[in-house]
Amino acid sequence: MIFGKRVLEGISTTPGGYPLPLSGKALTKTPVVAREEGVSLKEYPEVFIPGQEELGADEIRVTCIGSGNPPVRRAQAATGWLVELGNGDKFVFDVGGGTIQNLWSLVIHPALLDKLFLTHLHLDHVGDFHVLYDAMGWARNTPLRVWGPSGATKEQGTAEFCELMDKAAYWHTQSKRGYVPGGGMAIEAHEFDVSQFSPENPRMLVYDENGVKIYAFPVAHILVGAVGYRLEWNGLSWSFHGDGEPNTFEAEQSKEVDVFMHEAFLDGMTFSKKMNMPLREANLVAGAHSTPDRLGTLFDIARPKLGVAYHYFQDDETVDPFFENMRQTYDGPVVLAQDLTVINLTPEQIVIRQAQTDLLHWTPPPPKMEGPPPELDPKSPGGTPEWIEETILPPAG
């Protein structure tokens, strides 16, 4: 049972020649991009099957775990990405609603997914936070480490958000005491101070471990406390910009990266029609985002080897207008990400495919644990009243 492909009879492309959404093919006409001319290119399987393809020691694999928007759809979770490096490191960037079921379907043990980077605190970027956190005990026995920006006030920052999310899960975590190890029942916030950004200090190193550097930089998205990230490792680079209106400043922060990932949005008129919402509100929402023509201008300034668009409402009618409008201002390789679009980045090439994942997946074996199993904490006081426990039915036999 797989996700990511629909049965098509007859026409399988748009009038513009792009694959139809959910056809099992990436929405691009350049599925392979050479990083340098004249190099030998590796051949990859047509689709990515989790657990069947080892990541090379010198490459990065980026998987879209959510390509959509606040109205979560069956085929489009809200925004989220997984980044895997050939050195074994794995990072999650944003966890909008519906993203974690896609993440789990990639058959990676949750103990390896304890590093989360947030671009901002809109719910379509953090809505599945508790679902990721809930890997505690049954799979992850270390704190969930969360990086993110401060805000204009303490209440608008990542540290306060993490504290409140921990409190909101308090009944849940207390109920698990004595049943599963408690090491994962903690959130470790790494908030960085966005007031330190300036024209003289345009970006900040927020992560520097195991040869991996991740920089944060501010983006223009309604309030203070919205950022993008640039990851550099092994001579390869990747940037992810969360949400916002395109601007020359953020283009400069991603100048000539290998993979430049930025949101795209429908124009106000189409958004109003598709979502059955008033045109005034639709125009205001669209104005706080990046229409494809402005996105093309942004890509043209940065000149990445591959531009990636996400956060775009997809159906058979919206794919061609995206590319037509984007092509008014940019002529380089671009993919419109779907859920489970997979991008392999190597020193020689960039390969774009779709993943096919098991709808009824199971958790894979955990990483090898050193030492004895962790002890269980005492059960939390306040258990089920004795007079109710006395009525619980015994197991059969």
Task: Dump pLDDT digits (tens) for 56-72.
Answer: 999 999 999 999 998 89
Does 326 have pLDDT greater than 50? yes
Contact predicate 82/344, CB 8 Å = no
What is the residue whose two structure tokens read 């069956």?
Answer: 74
Closest by CA position to 91, among listed 137, 141, 147, 166 = 147
DSSP secondary structure of 368-397: PPPSSPPPPPPPPSS-S-HHHHTTPPPPP-
Name the phi and psi angles at 127, rounded to 5.
Answer: -60, -25
Could you read off the pLDDT of 150-192 as tens digits, one per residue? 999 999 999 999 999 999 999 999 999 999 999 999 999 999 9
* pLDDT tier at 276, thresholds 50, 70, 90: very high
Could you read off the pLDDT of 280-319 as tens digits, one per residue? 999 998 888 899 999 999 999 999 999 999 999 999 999 9
Where do the domains of the chain lie?
2-7+29-37+56-360
- CATH 3.60.15.10 is right for the domain spanning 2-7+29-37+56-360: yes
- Tell me which of 92 and 10 has the higher pLDDT: 92
Does 368 have pLDDT greater than 60? yes
pLDDT, position 138 = 81
Does 37 have pLDDT greater than 60? yes
